[in-house]
Amino acid sequence: MKIIKPAFAGTLESSDLQVRISPNPDGDIHIYLDSTVQKQFGRAIEKLIQEVLRSMGVSSAIVEVEDKGALDCVIKARVQAAVMRAAENNQIQWSKLS
């Protein structure tokens, strides 16, 4: 999926996160993570974000994430929603998202 415009998903409430995604003119993926649990789970969160992006076919994007202790299922859902909005894609391929 090609990221064509900036978009975001999520909130800054406790146990949630906000994902902002935008096109990257450099042609690769950059993830910037600010998390209340960064020391404990920072690498795992970044790995999950990479996996979701890969499964959705995103190869170029700038992803900014502010995490307030979200569970993996919330992280996955927020990244998916941001990608869908940024790609202006309304067709969900459920088999790729599971």
Length of the chain: 98
Angle at 9 between CA 26 and CA 30, to 5 degrees: 20
Residue 37 has a pLDDT of 95
Q: What is the DSSP string of 31-96?
A: EEEEETTHHHHHHHHHHHHHHHHHHTT--SEEEEEEESS--HHHHHHHHHHHHHHHTT-----HHH
Confidence bin at 93 (pLDDT 50/70/90): low
Separation between Cα atoms, residue 62 and residue 48, nearest integer Å: 15
Give tens-digit pLDDT for 12-67. 999 999 999 999 999 899 999 999 999 999 999 999 999 999 999 999 999 999 99
Which pLDDT value is given to residue 90?
Answer: 75
More confident residue, 22 or 93: 22
In the prediction, which pLDDT does 91 show? 75
Q: What is the pLDDT of residue 97?
A: 59
